[in-house]
Amino acid sequence: ATPMSIMTATGRGAQAGVLIRDAEALERFAGVDTLIVDKTGTLTEGRPRLSDVVVGEEVTRERLLTLAASLERGSEHPLAEAIVEGAEAEGLTLADVSDFDAVTGKGVSGTVSGTRVKLGNAAMMKDAGIDTSGFASEAEALQSEGKTAMFVVFDGVLSGIMAVADPVKENAASAIRALHENGLKIIMATGDNRRTAEAVARKLGIDAVRADVLPEDKKALVEELRAKGAKVAMAGDGVNDAPALAAADVGIAMGTGADVAMQSAGITLVKGDLGGIVRARRLAHATLSNIK
């Protein structure tokens, strides 16, 4: 593309909240055929709310929520914020935590009021050798609604589950439709479990799902698709997503997310709005066809 048409395109993009790093990013985006999108914060609002607390016989709902929320005060994950806010909304008094530990993509653990608490996904439970079958059907039902379910363990005993709901962005379905019409195949990659991920994907008409993906696996997925000859754009918001954004033909950062994601991206969507991907794609095609 000529310098002039590129300048016009980047200027027009900026007005619409689509920041394009350079001519190369714009040209490469015109040739992309596959778009990988992170779920949380990209397709969904990224502001999950506590929706369900399920307990067994031996513990009260109040105790489960109090200890879980106390522990999650040490985490910056959106799920953690949802649990803390949920407990605060119920007026619960949170306790101090010692031996706090967070495992990326899995969950958190620590000691609260003398109880060893573990809170996280099935992978975390598996690592700890904890049988989740006691709450499996409840967890599956919540996941089928697109909610994220987390297991809660007190002193090595599975004591309940909690779920958070993260609504899909208002324009996500229409943006996905427009991107399909623009010839893109769309793959969702998420650290969330398969059932939850598929429920969200079905709602949005996404072509394929990679669930239970650890942060380092998102980069591997980008590399795997590129090795097969795909021209890959990756959209994400988190610190976790930065390596995958950097490995893609074009990285697309949601401007509402982490700074490091934006530093790794060729395109930044200022308002975190998926419609920005549609606009960027149209801009890229218009700019390239102008100079042919």
* Residues of this chain that bind ligand ADP (CB under 6 A): 38-40, 72, 75, 77, 79-80, 105-108, 119-121, 148, 150, 190-192, 238, 240
Per-residue 3-state assignment (H helix, E strand, C coil) for 98-123: EEEEEECCCEEEEEECCEEEEEECHH
- Residue of minimal CB distance from ligand ADP? 191
Dist. CA 188–CA 206, nearest whole Å: 7
Burial class (CB in 10 A: 0-12, 13-18, 19+), 17: middle
CB of 286 to ligand ADP, least distance (A): 32
147 binds, among Mg ion, ligand ADP, none (CB under 5 to 8 A by kind): none
In the β-sheet with 34-38, what is the strand arrangement from edge to edge? Answer: 18-20, 267-269, 250-254, 232-236, 34-38, 185-189, 208-210
- When CB distances are held under 5 to 8 angstroms depending on the partner's kind, the choice from ligand ADP, Mg ion, none that residue 79 binds is ligand ADP
C-beta closer to ligand ADP: residue 225 or 258: 258
Backbone phi and psi for residue 35, each to the nearest 5 degrees, phi listed first = -120, 120
Work out how close the CB of 95 gets to ligand ADP at its nearest, in angstroms, rounded to a whole number.
17
Nearer to ligand ADP, 79 or 278 (CB): 79
When binding is defined by CB under 5 A, the residue of 38, 72, 192, 273 that contacts Mg ion is 38
What's CA 35's distance to the chain center, in Å?
15
Cα–Cα distance between 110 and 118 in angstroms, integer? 7
| Termini Cα distance of the chain | 8
Closer residue to ligand ADP (CB): 196 or 268: 196
Q: Is 40 in the site for Mg ion (CB under 5 A)?
A: yes
Q: For residue 190, state whether it binds Mg ion (rule: CB under 5 A).
A: no
Are 19 and 280 in contact, with CB atoms under 8 Å apart? no
Identify which range of 128-136, 149-157, 235-243, 276-284 contacts Mg ion by CB under 5 A: 235-243
SS3 content of the chain, % helix, strand, coil (to 5): 45, 25, 30
Residue 264 binds to Mg ion (criterion: CB under 5 A): no
Shortest separation between residue 104's beta carbon and ligand ADP, angstroms: 7
DSSP 135-188: GHHHHHHHHHTTPEEEEEEETTEEEEEEEEE-PBPTTHHHHHHHHHHTT-EEEE
Binder of residue 198, out of ligand ADP, Mg ion, none (CB less than 5 to 8 A by kind):
none
* Contact residues for 217 (Cβ-Cβ < 8 A; gap 6+): 189, 210
**257 touches which of Mg ion, ligand ADP, none (CB within 5 to 8 A by kind)?**
none
How far is residue 29's CA from residue 24's CA, in Å, rounded to a whole number? 8
Tokens of residue 98, six digits:
């010692």
Binding flag, residue 86, Mg ion (CB under 5 A): no
Single out the residue of 110, 238, 266, 275 in contact with Mg ion (rule: CB under 5 A): 238
- Contacted entry of ligand ADP, Mg ion, none for residue 275, CB cut-off 5 to 8 Å set by kind: none
Q: Which residues are catalytic?
A: 38
Q: How far is the CB of 16 from ligand ADP (least distance, A)?
A: 26
Closer to ligand ADP by CB, 16 or 134: give it: 134
Give the binding site for Mg ion (CB under 5 A).
38, 40-41, 238
